Amino acid sequence: MMSLRTLPIDDRLFQYVLDHSLREHPAQKALREATRDHPQAGMQIAPDQGQFMGLLVKMLGARRTIEIGTFTGYSALTVALALPADGHVLACDINDAYTRIGRPFWSQAGVDHKIELVLAPALQTLEARLSAGEAGSYDFAFIDADKVNYPHYYERCLDLVRVGGLIAFDNMLWGGAVVHPAKDADTAALQALNAKLHHDMRIDLALLTVGDGLTLARKR
């Protein structure tokens, strides 16, 4: 019987997971390879996490999704591929140089029409959508941007997502830093949010040891 500890994943075992699970579109693989040598490549989600998110989106029957923090666009591409033909990804980022890398691959996969990239502070974009009457009209949100604003992104997304919709948060274990006294604002923000989510009765909750810690919050 396995212990309660997470099974350690070495390179060979991780490759086994990919070899026996991963089903990437050629554009996804090409985008990963295009991002691999980027100085900030560690900001990209792992392909197994992307596949898991795509599965969640399909299980939800999602049509409208939000992404906060797009980087080079792998997660947006993955979600867009999982959506139906009339699906929509609202992708929020502030860095044109990063997102420009991914846009050709969105086109290559034939899903660029599903992705609305808004280059502006995400809180500003989310507030504008709420003001436009879009509360409760989204099925899924993925938060993977500046950590100090995670609590604010959460509250806006909770308003924008429908009852039964899902909010996913990346980096919630922050390389293990969350179990130690915070030495920076990012760690402190994640610790505070983890504590808040644990006691927030507006949601159903699971914090998973996927990637760098993936929290799933289902709106009640």
Confidence of residue 7 (pLDDT cuts 50, 70, 90): low
The Cα–Cα gap between 17 and 9 comes to 10
As given in the structure block, the two tokens for residue 141 are: 């949100």
The Cα–Cα gap between 35 and 101 comes to 8
Q: In what order do the strands lie in the sheet with 203-208?
A: 115-119, 88-93, 64-68, 138-143, 161-169, 214-219, 203-208
pTM of the model: 0.95
Confidence of residue 9 (pLDDT cuts 50, 70, 90): confident
User: What are phi and psi for residue 65, nearest 5 degrees?
Assistant: -135, 160
Residues 130-168 have pLDDT tens digits of: 999 999 999 999 999 999 999 999 999 999 999 999 999
pLDDT above 60 for 2: no
pLDDT above 50 for 1: no
CA distances from 59 to 106, 110, 219 (A): 22, 22, 15
The Cα–Cα gap between 70 and 31 comes to 13
Question: What is the average per-residue pLDDT within 186-200?
Answer: 98
Residues 159-173 have pLDDT tens digits of: 999 999 999 999 999
As given in the structure block, the two tokens for residue 201 are: 């009765």
Location of structure tokens 């969105």: 106
How far is C-alpha 11 from the geometric centre of its chain's CA atoms? 23
In this structure, are residues 51 and 21 in contact, taking their beta carbons and an 8 Å threshold? yes
Residues 65-116 have pLDDT tens digits of: 999 999 999 999 999 999 999 999 999 999 999 999 999 999 999 999 999 9
The Cα–Cα gap between 59 and 216 comes to 14
Question: What is the average per-residue pLDDT within 43-66?
Answer: 97
